[in-house]
Structure 1
Amino acid sequence: MPSEFLVSLRKDIAAIAPPEDSSIILQFEERRLTFKNPKPGLRTALKTLATVPTPPSQLKKIVCESDGFEGWQKFNLYLNKLAKLGWLCYSIVVNDVAIATTVPISPDLQISPQPISATTKYILSRFAYTHQIAGETILESPLSFCQIRLDWRGAALIALLGTPQNIYELSSQIPGISVDIAEQFISLLFNSQMLSTVDENGVIAENENLILAQWEFHDLLFHTRSRVGRHANPFGGTYRFVGKIDPLSALKPLISNDLIDLYKPDLAALAETDIPLTQVLETRKSIRQWEEQPITVEQLGEFLYRTARVKNIIKSDLAELSQRAYPGGGGIYELEIYPVINRCQNLASGLYHYQPLSHQLNHLTDKNELVEALLQSAASAMGVEEMPQILLVISARFQRLTWKYQSMAYAIILKHVGVLYQNFYLVATAMNLAPCAIGAGNADLFAKAVRCDYYAESSVGEFVLGSRPVNSQT
């Protein structure tokens, strides 16, 4: 059985002793716990928890010597409550230095020393990863309810656990790491879902979990970090850059002065002549072949007007917002549309940017190697040989959205892409065109073609549009 973990309060919990009374207040963010007139032993134990990692047995001794066994029972209840709140950290200490400390990111974290077999081998979970935050090495995993802060020895032990290790093998390779410390370390990480056992045949238990086996590292990490529950990061509309960085404008500035006016349909007339919504929904499908006669520029204009134009610019106290033909979180609308034209009647082949307020195409370049590559990439993604008539590349101006939102920003972007896809499908079906969403695209190729900063604006979706073949008419 490994030695007990040392416990302490999170660094970001304030311990307040008001001068006007004898209370002790623990405060984390907006939540407070008040201990009114605590007995001397409880007072000392709380102050110790807020100061230095301490063995629970030592805290018990402090409380029992002053407040008696009944005082310890009460303190133990407090300790359990602090753990359930996610306010308690667990540490492994070597020569008065913590080599590993858990930091709860969910109240579901449960840590207790567990027996570790001396011969059982363990390996780092394929979902675990280290990164740097504020000068500290942090171990995290989407399977875990905590972060683990590591010193250099803790980080070295993690590196060793990239291959199967038992406690003896682990302790023999790092100076100052005894077998007992190695056992504590394995127990702490195993409690935290950072490790998996490896049997005598080399089979990793985690890989035998048929559900986890179907998750890729980045997908599970993205899922857990963009939803509430398994992280403690700021979440939602935090506006963390207000007063620090100016927000991006609602409309992307013109890339060139070469503008083409697009056809604007009569919406009132369309309301009378469009096929019913139910028929649109029932007949909508992806079409990966096109009529020999390509789509017209008038059809492209009507399509973009009905699906993506800016109806209105809204001035708010913090940033420009807009109203469009599809829903967008916070009225921010970070998505941009770049028509890549292969064949379109009365419109030259090349790369364009759609101006959604003025309803114009901004011509960026004639067809070149990069434009051809974008079209060919779309054909390959659809599994066809013929390049599409029109490829609509959807990009995101990321900082437009991340200026307001934290943790959930990229998830919102992908939801917006899905909303726009549906808009495209419904309108294309109503117009008797051939629509097809594409599941993948080359963001680096797009950034080169448009000459934009990959980290400021990248492609996040692709959609093909063309004339509908006669044998696919609704």
Structure 2
Amino acid sequence: MSQEFVLSFKKDISLIEQPEGDRIILQSSDCKLTFKQVTSGLRTALNTLTTNKATAQQLIDLVQQRDGIHAKLKFYYHLQKLSALGWLCYSVVIDDLLLASAIPLTCDYQFSHKNVDVECKYALSRFAYCHQVEEQIVLESPLSYAKVVVSNWRGAALIAKLAKPQHFRDLTVEISGITEEIAQKFVALLLNTQMVFEVAKNASVEHTTNITLAQWEFHDLLFHTRSRKGRHTNLAGGTYRFLGQIETLPAVKSKMSAETIDLYKPNLETLKALDPSFTSVLEERKSIRDYNKIPITAQQLGEFLYRSARVRTLMKIEPTEISSRPYPAGGAIYELELYVVVNICEGISPGLYHYAPDMHQLCWLSGRNEHTEELLQGAIRGVGSDDELQVLIVIAARFQRLAWKYESIAYATILKHVGVLYQTMYLVATAMELAPCAVGYGDSDLFAQAVGTDYYAETSVGEFILGSKDSNYR
């Protein structure tokens, strides 16, 4: 057990004393420890971890002074148990002021107790990031099972210095009040929480030479770890965190225009009889970027949207309204919106339209303009097509529609919904012998400007190209 750091309980650990039977209960949200026949030294040490801060050696000495050598050994075991449960915070203190604290994020967090090599340089991990939480600076990393709360301006200054490889002794320069001992402890705290890494003699950092980590971008790994369980204790799932505070968005967005086009509605019973088999559609599905000289028609576009994305039913199930559509969605919330950029379509004028899935209509937003041209050109670049695009379908998300219910996983769920909608569109287009192709990326700022939406309330999350299939295509 390292004796360098000041120890304390996490804030969510409660201590309950039961005078009857000399018991003390330590309890977190998911675990409880009961200490029986509690001695004076153990009682004082546990209370010290709750109300004050002390090093492991100070706590062990306190127990030994009051209860004897055997109690000291037993308390050492208790400290190991508390550490294994992820209940202990590790802090660096300077002049009785807290500099920084490592706080476990999971119940199985293990502080590794690595020592700083006095001959080596250390640098901040490229995955580490600072942000403000409840008026405190917090350093986190998707590599770590702990967060570091920086409680003093000197801690922030030390982190800034570690952007470049440093010997811990170098950290004493330019930052007042930082001794070599404090600098070494601070680097050790960050090292044991994977916020810094040892820099090799060739100036490479450990996780840049690790071929697995090298292929992770910062934002991808952070998004992955924070939208999955395992490396955080944030609330996740359907928490309804804004219930009673903010009104939920309606299941269907209001019409964006009074100028509408009623779309063709196919007879589903006829389609069931005439469509190719499901296996045939699955096997023949592919991205097609070559188009027939005769463009897609308004009837084909109407059938495609009807089969892919219409509202089948609307239902009021407290505390919100939900719907049923041809593709699946978490909680039947359906936050995705479809916008159709028509370049060439027989029966529909070029321009930008919003699809009203409940009425199965296209609502006119604008004619061909600079924004629609840029959207089309961006899609062409995204798929590398030489042919002139016929129809671009932009998939947007009303983010708050989903975030109102789901916490931690809202955006990850939106992207999953884009995926299942892509697949539904591919299968419908294949069954209709059209040419479908999903686009790998798009410009969300450009889309928000084209449609006139608030980027943070609704913007694009996917693009899909549709056209008539070249009869010579195999």
TM value normalised by structure 2: 0.96
Mapped contact 1:339–1:352 kept (Cα < 8 A): yes
The equivalences for 1:275-424 within 5 A come to: 275-424=276-425
Structure-1 separation of matches of 2:188 and 2:291 = 61
The question of whether the paired residues in 1 share the 8 Å contact of 2:6 and 2:92 is answered with: yes
Deviations 1:300-322 (A, max 9, x none): 11111111111111111111111
Change (3 A) 1:376 1:272: same
Q: Is 1:466 matched up with 2:467?
A: yes
SS of alignment partner, residue 310 of structure 1: coil
C-alpha contact 2:3 2:57 (8 A) present in aligned 1: no
Asked if 2 retains the 8 angstrom alpha-carbon contact of 1:2 and 1:180, the reply is no
The answer to whether the aligner puts 1:133 opposite 2:133 as a matched pair is yes
Q: Which residue of 1 aligns with 2:12?
A: 12
- Counterpart-to-counterpart distance in 2, 1:302 and 1:78: 68
Alignment of 1:107-256 (within 5 A): 107-150=107-150, 151-256=152-257
Partner of 2:52: 52
CA distance in 2, matches of 1:20, 1:346: 85
Which amino acid is 1:328 matched to?
A
Equivalent position amino acid for 2:39 in 1:
K
The Cα of 1:69 is off from its aligned counterpart by 2.8
Does the Cα contact within 8 Å between 1:110 and 1:191 map onto a contact in 2? no
CA distance in 2, matches of 1:13, 1:433: 60
CA distance 1:255–1:219, shift in 2 (3 Å):
same
Instruction: Check the 8 A contact 2:24/2:38 in 1, yes or no.
Output: yes
Residue 34 of structure 1 pairs with residue 34 of structure 2? yes
Q: Percent identity at matched positions?
A: 53
Please tell me whether the aligned partners of residues 105 and 146 of structure 1 are also in contact (alpha carbons under 8 angstroms): yes
Q: Secondary structure at the match of 1:50?
A: helix
**Distance in 2 separating the partners of 1:6 and 1:307:** 59
Residues in 1 aligned to 2:307 and 2:384: alpha-carbon distance in whole angstroms: 29
Answer yes or no: is the 8 Å Cα contact 1:119–1:167 preserved in 2.
no
CA contact (8 A) 1:234 1:406 kept: yes
Say if 2:88 is the partner of 1:84.
Answer: no
Structure 1 unmatched runs, 5+: none
* Cα deviations by residue, 1:406-434 (Å, 9 ceiling, x for unpaired): 11111111011000000000000000000
User: Aligned equivalents of 1:66 and 1:97: distance in 2?
Assistant: 28
- Contact 2:311–2:358 under 8 Å retained in 1: yes
C-alpha displacement at 1:79, in angstroms? Answer: 2.0
Tell me the C-alpha RMSD between the 2 structures.
Answer: 1.6
State how many pairs are aligned. 473
1:189 Cα deviation from its structure 2 partner? 0.9
Shift of 1:401: 0.6
Residue in 1 aligned with 2:71?
A: 71
Query: Aligned letter for 2:177?
Result: G
Quote how far apart the aligned CAs of 1:29 are. Answer: 2.6
SS at match of 2:231: coil
